[in-house]
Structure formats: C-alpha cells, structure tokens
Chain A
Amino acid sequence: MSTTTTAPSAPTAVSRRGDSVFAGLATGAGLLIMLALAGVAIFLIIEGIPAISASGEQAYGKDNIVVYVWPLLFGTLLAAVIALLIATPLAVGVALVISHYAPRRVARPIGYLIDLLAAVPSVVYGLWGRAVLAPAILPVYAWLADHLGWLPFFDGPARTGRTILTAAIVLAVMALPIITAICREVFLQTPRIHEEAALALGATRWEMIRMTVFPYARSGVISAVMLGLGRALGETMAVAMVLSASGLVTINLISAENPSTIAANIALNFGNASGTKVNVLIFSGLVLFVVSFAVNFLGRWIAARGQVKA
C-alpha cells in the first residue's frame, strides 16, 4: 500500500440520486403507458355504457344497440376479409419476388418502394379509390353482373363503382405493402444452410422454396396476415370515402346498397351526432377495439408460438 487514499465515497450520494431520479422517470414513462391504455378502455366503456339502453331515435332508428351495431360489424368483417383474400396471395408473391426471384440489384429498390407505399396516408388511398378506382372499375362490375350474376356476390345491379368490393380492393392495396414487408423479412430469415441443403439435393428453385422457405415462414406469414387484417378492420378513411353505404347486411358485393363499416360509420356520423347518439357511436368503437384487439392478439400469439418452435 503505497498511498493512503481517502475513501471515494463523496460522489456516492450524488450519483445515487441521479440514478434513482432517472430510474424513476423511466419507470414512470412505463406506468404512463399502462395508464394510457387503461384510460382508453375505461373512457370508452364509461362513454359507451349509456348506449346500451339506447333505442329508437337515439340509436339511429334501430330497436336496440345490437341491431344497430351488428350490420356495421358484418360490413367491417366482410370488407376486411375480402381485402385479405385479395392481398395475401399478392403479398406473398411480391415478397417472394423480392426475397428469392429478383436479382439483388432490382430487389432492393423494389423493397424500398414497397416500404414507401406503406407510408402513404390512408386518406390519399381513399381519395384514389373514390376518384380513380371507382369509376374505372364500374364496367368490370357491369360485366360481372351480366355474366356471373347467378352468383349471390355479383347479383348487382352495378350502378356505382363505390361498392363494398371497391372498398375491399382499396383496403387490399393498403394492406399489401404491410404484409409484403413482413413476409419479405420472414422469407429472408430462412437459414441459408437449409436452402443450400435443398439445392444441393438437386431441387429446382420452386422445390427449394416449398421445402425450406414456406415451412420455416408459415407462422410468420400467418401473423403478417393477422396484422394486416387488424389494420384493415380499423381502417377508417379509405372506406368512409369510397363506400356508398346504406347499412344493411348483404353479401351482394357490387350493388349500390352496401353494408357500412364501424370505423367509417363513426367518421361519417360523428360530426353531426349529439346526445346519446355520441354514446352509440362510441359503443360501436368499443366493439371495434375489442375485435381488432382479438385479431392482433391472435396474430402475435401465432408469431410467438412459431418463434419458440423455430
């Protein structure tokens, strides 16, 4: 021991205080998030409860809240499911092109482009759907009604392009970049050794993809689709702008009489609502919250289960 050092305990108090203040701030931020989410649920419930007893004029002329919300929920699910039926195969194809088919030089800019398209605001998609897609697709609906009218979906009559099918197509276009982005990531994560093992056995590219990429990516793709579904369920503006809604339950996709969706219905009616009508709309929002929560939860659960297995 050459030097006697004074015990370096002087800075103790200072650094300890800094630590506890900082840790407190961080924990507080975390707790605030819990509080915020609890707040979302609680405020929606408080403001939604008065709607349960609403009827007649207060419930937009419906007997009770269930009769009011059900057609909206039906429309929400219908539009979202059709959108996913359209978007999923396309998204998987595009993701496959980016991850395995296109040369690197091309794949990268394409991926870039898809990411940018995911950022386009929904209101712009809505504008496009209303002003461009709806008029352009009307002849197709007319053709469908003429030739496939015996199917209940295409009963027609096709008088407007602003149908639930158009809304679903717009939703599909919106969900496409999101699903593609996740699928691409999952496809790219396939272990190289698996792919090379398949190729070394003399597999063609498609056989390699079917043998290694798809089994590995299955849960990732499913959860991507669930996330896309959650997004499509909650999407407001695109539907509100595209759809010419009359709020009934039908599976006729191309007529002028279309079911509405919860989110679009709130957006279109909230401005003029007053009294219990506000509560009715908030109640429908609560239903939407629960449904999209369930879908998202399912998606993450599948993703988590897949990760454990991998």
Chain B
Amino acid sequence: MSLLEERRPAAKPTAMPLVAPQIPAYAPWLAAVLAGGIAALAGLLLGWSLVAVVLVAWALLVVGLPAWSAAIEGERRAKDRLVTTIAWSTFALAMIPLASLAWEVVENGHAIISSEFLTYDMRGVLGAGGGIYHALMGTLIITALATAISVPIGVMAAIYLVEYGKGNRLARTITFLVDVMTGIPSIVAGLFAFALFTMIFGPGVRFGIGGAVALSVLMIPIVVRATEEMLKLVPEELREASYALGVPKWRTIVKVVLPTALGGIVTGVTLAIARVAGETAPLLIIVGTTTTLNLNPFDGRMATLPVFIFSSVTTGGKYDAEQTARAWGAALVLVAIVMTLNLLARAVGKVFAPKTGR
C-alpha cells in the first residue's frame, strides 16, 4: 500500500491521472482462502459444526474483501466488490439444494436399477423385488396419447393465430385464454378431467385416457406458445415468394412456413412432452394407480412413474424402506427420461436451426 502511494506522485503530474491504486487481481481468491482458513481454525479450536464454519467464513469474506478494497480503492469500488461477492454467494447458495437433489437421485436410485426392476410389475410384491415396468408403460402410453391430442390442436391453433387471425378479436381472445391455460394448476386440470368424465361415465371413473386429456390441458398452451413464436420468426418474404409463384395459402403454410419453423416447433413440443411426462397430480386424480400392468388406456386404472413414486413414499407401513428404495429408482428413471427429452430437444433445435448466411 505504501508502495502504491509512493508511486503515484512519480507519474508525470501533467498527464491525465489514469493510474489508480488497485488491489491485486487475485485479491478475491486470497480473501476467500484467508476467510476460510480463519473460520476453519476457529472452528477447530472452538468445536463448531461445519455449517457454522462455512457461515463464519462467508461473513468474514463479505466484510473483509470490501474493507480491504475500501482502504485502497475507495468506497465505490468497495461497494462494487461487495455486490459481486453477494451475487456469487447467492449463486453458490442456490446451487446447494440443486446439486444435492441431483446427487441424491443418482446416489439413491442407481443401486436398485436392474433388468428385473425395469421389466417386472408390482403384482403380489410386498417387500423387496418387483419393478416399475407397469408404471413405465403407463407413463409412455399416457404421455403419447396426450401428445397425440395436443400437438395437432396446438399447432393448428398457432397457425390460426399467426397466419389467419392476425390480431383480430377471436385471435386476441384465444391468445388471452392460452395465457390463462398456461397458469392452470396441474391439479385443477386433473379435477377438470375428473368432472368431465364423471358427467359422462358416472362417478368413480378412472382410466388412462382421462389422464391424457388432463395432461393435454397443460400441454396445449405450451405447444401453442412455442409454435406461435416459431411461426412468427418465419420471414414474411418467404410467404410472399411462395404466393408470387402462384401457390395457395394453405400450401404455402404446409410446404414453406411449417418446414422452415419445424426445428423450433419440434424443440417446443419435446420440451412440452418432458414437462407433462413428470406431472403427477392430474394422474393421481383421474388415472389412479395399480400394481399390475395395464396397457389399455380406455379401461381401468394405470400406474405411472410419478404416481408410483408418490404412492410408494406415502403408503408407509412395514415395507417403507423397500418402497422408498423403489421410489428413488423410479425417480432416477423418470429424471433420466425427462433429461433425455430435454437434451434431445436442444439437439433438434441445433440441427434444424434456420440456415442463415452463406
């Protein structure tokens, strides 16, 4: 510090003062190590817990680094460093639960994954053993059905909004309602499907297609949104080029606009599938669960991975440990499916990304 102060007058006093005293670039790291070291030492001497040591180390850093900076660099830079430290702290804090979640799912889930776990259902199983084949198939069937319902409706509605409606009253109403639908709590979608099918088939109805309808209520707005955004990105020039060739509007949409937007639409749909594949609440209400394989979505309860996880954990009783182990295994499988879909969506988005430039 004294060195820096001596150097300043040495600079030519006539020139603009471009040199200001600075703490070295490695200062934040040094401060972090020092704070950690002091806290650890104190912790060892006074017998603190790990949590306490970390908290003290953090407090030392947040106070110490800006203080050091204030002494040398002045108040404004010190404030800047304080905020930087806090921003990175929030980041670290936010990462703790998220990292823990990822770690626990893998750690607790991987042990039980076996060919038996993936190919057997739970018929007659009480303690150990059994598998999630029935739930896996249920999730695949119901999600596939929901996709089959949502994608045509969602894509066509988006086409209406972008290509036909163009801000007329109906289009504005639909846009608003899609906004509302995006915010429907998933359990309310389940109640809707339940109420709907209760009115048709009488009370106590439970079947897979009902779940697909409920999931569609959640999925359609996502598909509409994604498709709408992508269609809007298609340059008006391409439509005009097609019209100028004497191509009718609907063929222009099908052959020019949709292919150009395809990558984004597929990405959006895949993300929507990933989102609803993990939905639990609506399925709990309208599909229920069962221990045996049921491949017919029009008849009777079906098991699904999310509901399987939920009921395994909440049933309790004598075999709680085995049930929880299976729940972790199912959670790992479910997370793997959802993550694969997400990565796939990104890959698709990259592959189909509009080729611009030359």
Contact = CB atoms under 8 A, between A and B. Distances in A.
A10 interface: no
B90 A94 contact: yes
A90 interface: yes
Contacts of B94: 90-91, 93-94, 176, 180
A288 B188 contact: yes
B185 A292 contact: yes
Interface centre among A15, A21, A110, A209 (most CB of B within 10 A): A15
A127 B334 CA distance: 12
A196 B324 CA distance: 54
A290 to B, nearest CB: 10
B101 A33 contact: no
B196 A26 contact: no
Contacts of B279: 121-122
A85 interface: no
B203 interface: yes
A173 B284 CA distance: 23
A26 B160 contact: yes
Nearest to A235: B185
Contacts of B104: 128, 131-132
A30 B198 CA distance: 26
A221 to B, nearest CB: 14
Interface string A201-244: 00011110100000000000000000100100111110011000
A38 to B, nearest CB: 9
B285 A266 contact: yes
A227 B284 CA distance: 24
Interface in B85-120: 86-91, 93-94, 97-98, 100-101, 104-105, 108
B220 A33 contact: yes
Contact of A26 (B156, B192, B271, B334): B156
B137 interface: no
Contacts of B153: 29, 32-33
**Main DSSP-derived SS at the A contact region:** helix
Nearest to B163: A26
Contact of A127 (B173, B195, B248, B313): B313
A89 B90 contact: yes
A36 interface: yes
A43 interface: yes
A121 B271 CA distance: 12
A96 interface: yes
B281 interface: yes
B191 interface: yes
Contacts of A25: 156
Contacts of A241: 310, 313-314
B224 A33 contact: yes
A44 B179 contact: no
Contacts of B163: 26
Interface stretch (A67-75, A112-120, A153-161, A249-257): A112-120
A39 interface: yes
B309 interface: yes
A19 B249 contact: yes
A173 B192 contact: no
B342 interface: yes
Nearest to A283: B191
Interface in A159-185: 169, 173, 176-177, 180
A37 B194 CA distance: 15
B331 A23 contact: no
Given A205-B84, A237-B310, A125 B188 contact: no
Nearest to B49: A139
Interface stretch (B3-11, B73-81, B126-134, B233-241): B73-81
5 contacts: A40-B192, A44-B195, A131-B108, A236-B185, A237-B310
Question: Considering the complex of A and B, which 3 residue pairs feature the smallest CB-CB distances, nearest first?
Answer: A121-B278, A234-B185, A93-B90
Given A22-B249, A204-B76, A207-B76, 18 more contacts: A26-B163, A28-B156, A29-B156, A33-B157, A33-B177, A33-B220, A40-B217, A44-B191, A47-B199, A93-B87, A119-B278, A123-B310, A132-B100, A173-B97, A205-B84, A206-B83, A285-B188, A296-B180
